[in-house]
Amino acid sequence: MNLKPQEVLTEQDVKKGLKLVIGDGLFSETMTTLTGGAFIVAMAILLGANNLQLGLIAALPTMVNMFQLISIWLVRRFNNRRAITVICSLMARFPLVIIGLLPLLLPGIVTIELIIPILFFYYLMGAIAGASWNSWMKDLVPEKQLGAYFAKRSSLMQTMNVILSLVLALAVDYVRDYHPAFELNAYGYMFIAAGIAGLLGTTILAGTPEPQKYLPKENIFRMLMRPLKDANFRRLLVFNSAWVFAVNIASPFFTVFMMKSMGLGLSYIIGLTIISQISSILTIRLWGRFADRYSNKTIIAIGAPLYILCLVGWCFVGIYTQLWPNLLLLAVIHLVMGFANAGINLSLTNIGLKLAPTADAIVYLSSKNIITAIFSALAPLLGGILADYFTGRHLKIDAEWGGPRWTKTLHIIELHEWNFLFLFGALLGLIAVEQLTRVKETGEVEKDYVVRIMRSTMRNNLKNNFLTGSLMNGYSQLKSVFRRRFL
């Protein structure tokens, strides 16, 4: 297949490319669903992974972004982003088949220590391909359609994730309950299927046209310093780094907490994840329209506070003796997290694309990915260490009412190894949001104005704005308390 870029893309070429990128996204999401999230955590726990190893597995996808320097060098050397993306994707996705074959062919020697290096190579080659892909998409997708296009792509990918995750969770729980000796084999088949899906996606991506782009032949480290000299982009890096550190010190351990502390099966965990994903699917196109109409910064300023409140909510999970109140609280948290994450993730990607000059897009985006990768990788590793430290330690606050005939004790909050991480994440998230105010974006609109417009839109379209509006107001109160006490 011809992988050479084209000097000029016609409107027909662009339309074809946008369709193919969505096709690759669906296959890539299938691959990610089969090998990520709750499934990789469950497999790691089955293989006896400790907290630090669980943190390392969570850190790998972002840790390898530090190697995107290789992608810049390759793009500058060959000026062919499509070929680099396709070849590196093939090299990334084939190892998934190897991981899947290990428990089937060599069940006696499969250990988490053997799996982690292979996962590292998978994520490494994916990171190199991803940096080249980002630059490619910057030139392929029209700037005015960035929010709407990637919102559509994300919603389709999340729909695929919802359907596939539910089927897989029910299947794995069935194997675990009735054929526990074959549980590891089930994960093996999932990895093989993931590798095949990824390779099919790469084949589709190979047919996507690429506009020709030339990088200047200058020192690579001097090129990487250019974004750091851009004051506004530097402020974005500070916010983005602080935010991913706050999120990743807590979020990788949500599944671990539900499996180890609450004893929930994969069906429950995936069911909650589906609630989050459905919330994202129903709102991500709304986020995309508002990001295009107003600004990505405004969308982040709305979504980040909601996510912080969800982190606080995690501290209260597990304090009830009965299962159903905990599940109800988890459902509400996942619902709001899905809504918030849809806007945050979409806007974080788009604001980086928007603030990066077209001529230096790969340099700016790779610098952003490399710097944020350091903080994304350190956070779950630190989280694993802190979880070990807080094992056997807890903070419990109860309220007791005593009377002549009976005494009632109300559990207010109980923090232990995982909950401490969630609280730390919330406090660090508050600090990160303060850095966002310093970032400037063309066309940004006052947050409160957009909130009013979104409330009106959701009232008319979804009839479901009450919870969102209340949480937005609740964040303002939480922020004022934080400022008085800590700043």
pLDDT tens digit sequence for 78-100: 889 999 999 999 999 999 999 99
Confidence at 23, pLDDT banded by 50, 70, 90: very high
Burial 188-214 (b: 16+ CB within 10 A, else e): bbbbbbbbbbbbbbbbbbbbbbbbebe
Superfamily of domain 11-390: MFS general substrate transporter like domains (1.20.1250.20)
Contacts of 110 (CB under 8 A, 6+ apart): 47, 102, 103, 184
Question: Closest by alpha carbon to 42, among 232, 244, 229, 264?
Answer: 264
pLDDT at position 468, please?
A: 47
**DSSP string computed for 163-225:** HHHHHHHHHHHHHHHH-GGGHHHHHHHHHHHHHHHHHHHHHHHHTS--B------S-HHHHHH
Confidence at 290, pLDDT banded by 50, 70, 90: confident
In what helix (H) or strand (E) does residue 414 lie, and over which residues does it extend? Answer: strand 407-415
Q: How many other C-beta atoms lie within 10 A of the C-beta of residue 461?
A: 11
Q: What is the mean pLDDT of residues 344-355?
A: 85
Dihedral of the alpha carbons of 273, 279, 282, 287, in degrees to the nearest 10: -120
pLDDT for residue 223 is more than 90: no
Q: Report d(CA 26, CA 154) in Å as an integer.
A: 9
Looking at per-residue pLDDT, the higher value among 126 and 143 belongs to 126
pLDDT at position 448, please?
A: 63
In what helix (H) or strand (E) does residue 471 lie, and over which residues does it extend? Answer: helix 466-486
pLDDT for residue 464 is more than 50: no
Confidence at 459, pLDDT banded by 50, 70, 90: low
SS3 state of residue 397: strand
Contacts of 216 (CB under 8 A, 6+ apart): 76, 223
Domains of the chain, by residue range, sit at 11-390
Dihedral of the alpha carbons of 63, 69, 71, 76, in degrees to the nearest 10: 170
Task: Provide the token pair at 200.
Answer: 């099919």
Burial of 269 (0-12, 13-18, 19+ CB in 10 A): buried
Q: What is the mean pLDDT of residues 288-303?
A: 84
Q: Report d(CA 225, CA 222) in Å as an integer.
A: 5
Q: Report d(CA 247, CA 447) in Å as an integer.
A: 22
Question: Closest by alpha carbon to 135, among 235, 48, 36, 215?
Answer: 215
Phi, psi angles (nearest 5°) of residue 100: -65, -35
Mean pLDDT (the chain, rounded): 85
SS3 state of residue 405: coil
Confidence at 463, pLDDT banded by 50, 70, 90: very low
Q: Report d(CA 265, CA 172) in Å as an integer.
A: 9
Angle at 157 between CA 156 and CA 162, to 5 degrees: 95
CA 110 to chain centre: 28
Contacts of 372 (CB under 8 A, 6+ apart): 62, 65, 237, 240, 241, 244
pLDDT for residue 380 is more than 50: yes
pLDDT for residue 206 is more than 90: yes
pLDDT at position 457, please?
A: 61
pLDDT at position 22, please?
A: 95
Phi, psi angles (nearest 5°) of residue 438: -85, -15
Question: Closest by alpha carbon to 79, among 168, 10, 7, 143?
Answer: 7
pTM more than 0.75: yes
Side-chain half-sphere CA neighbours of 166 within 13 A: 12
Q: Is the dihedral of CA 437, 441, 442, 444 positive or negative?
A: negative
3-state helix, strand, coil split of the chain in percent (to 5) is 80, 5, 15
Question: Closest by alpha carbon to 259, among 69, 38, 421, 90?
Answer: 38
